Amino acid sequence: MKFAKMHGAGNDYVYIDCFSQVVPDPERLAVEVSDRHFGIGSDGLILIEPSAVADVRMRMFNADGSEAEMCGNGVRCVAKYAYDHGLVDSLRISVETGAGVLPLQLFTNSRNKVDRVRVNMGKPRLSRGEIPMTGSPDEQAVNVEVTGLDRTFHVTCVSMGNPHAVIFVDNVHEFPVAKYGPALETHPLFPNRINVEFVEVVSRTELKQRTWERGAGETLACGTGSSAVTVAAVLNGHCDRVLVNHLLGGDLEMEWTEDGHIYMTGPAVQVFEGDYQPQ
């Protein structure tokens, strides 16, 4: 089975071209290939498939085998793969995801390879029913108290097609993400579990983010998480609607436009290609 290893700001996945290959058991394969000692090593598995409603379709599986709706860093790499490998020939394409069809603008370097992608991530969903989160389904969860282990956090919850809980902290570098991330991911408030972002406000136009990703643990970047963080920062009065978000794996340029859409611009990098023999 041929694959490509790619990352967006350090959020790395194994990508398989399903225009020419069939993956019969992606849940099991995701666990195999993600293992950083016995597999290829990644945050998960992404399949690039034909689509009836877009140029290509993306299916994403976490390192634990669970299927997720969307990955902002992953969709940029899908776009790069599709253009660089001739699946599409336009620098403006659409990708079908579990969160809907997203339009993307691709930017190429001097070798005509895609190195940056701007994604219309769509509009954030803020009601508890859309996230999903227990409680009144039409109510928003902005700066609400949630207890995890021995601490009470003020949490803002946002869905970008997948669920996120955003928590602002004083020093994100020193924050014990591995301690509180799992407790909040599996909190009874969130029936489908949740991704958790811990965020430090640097200025009106600058944030620092660490992510505990549902089904994967801490990752170096999360694009849907960065989108949720942008919304939460604006709703809580911390930031303007255009900002730079510093993640462990690199920077993402974010904008929440007046029409309600979130735009994310960031890198897409192919590390290597290879052949993998499923176990």
222 is annotated as an active-site residue: yes
In-domain check, residue 128: no
> What mean pLDDT do residues 201-205 have?
98
Residue 269 to residue 146: CA distance in whole angstroms:
37
pLDDT at site 254: 98
Cβ-contact 251, 9 below 8 angstroms: yes
Closest CA to 199 of 163, 160, 244: 244
**pLDDT beyond 90 at 278:** no
Cβ-contact 9, 264 below 8 angstroms: no
What is each CA distance from 50 to 59, 102, 276, in whole angstroms? 11, 15, 22
In-domain check, residue 134: no
Q: Are residues 212 and 270 in the same domain?
A: no
71 is annotated as an active-site residue: yes
In-domain check, residue 247: yes
By residue range, what is the domain housing residue 102?
Answer: 2-119+266-275
In-domain check, residue 130: no
Q: What digits encode the pLDDT tens for the residues 148-169?
A: 999 999 999 999 999 999 999 9
Report the share of the chain in percent with pLDDT over 90: 99
| Annotated catalytic residue, options 71, 77, 157, 239 | 71
Helix (H) or strand (E) holding 33: helix 26-34
In-domain check, residue 239: yes
Q: Are residues 232 and 150 in the same domain?
A: yes
Q: Are residues 115 and 175 in the same domain?
A: no
Q: Are residues 64 and 15 in the same domain?
A: yes
pLDDT at site 102: 97
HSE at residue 112, side-chain half, CA atoms within 13 A, is: 6
Mean pLDDT of the chain: 97
pLDDT at site 204: 98
Residue 279 banded pLDDT, cuts 50, 70, 90: confident
> What is the number of domains present in the chain?
2
Q: Are residues 104 and 170 in the same domain?
A: no
In-domain check, residue 65: yes
Q: Provide the whole-model pTM.
A: 0.94
In-domain check, residue 91: yes
Q: Are residues 71 and 154 in the same domain?
A: no
Q: Are residues 88 and 24 in the same domain?
A: yes
Q: What digits encode the pLDDT tens for the residues 129-143?
A: 999 999 999 999 999
Q: Are residues 219 and 190 in the same domain?
A: yes
Q: Are residues 108 and 187 in the same domain?
A: no
Q: Are residues 203 and 270 in the same domain?
A: no
> What mean pLDDT do residues 105-111 have?
97
In-domain check, residue 67: yes
**CATH assignment at residue 101:** 3.10.310.10
Q: What digits encode the pLDDT tens for the residues 60-97?
A: 999 999 999 999 999 999 999 999 999 999 999 999 99
Q: Are residues 154 and 253 in the same domain?
A: yes
pLDDT at site 252: 98
Q: What digits encode the pLDDT tens for the residues 208-247?
A: 999 999 999 999 999 999 999 999 999 999 999 999 999 9
Q: What angle do CA 274, 77, 247 make, to 5 degrees?
A: 115
Residue 2 to residue 15: CA distance in whole angstroms:
9
Q: What digits encode the pLDDT tens for the residues 9-54?
A: 999 999 999 999 999 999 999 999 999 999 999 999 999 999 999 9
Q: Are residues 150 and 185 in the same domain?
A: yes
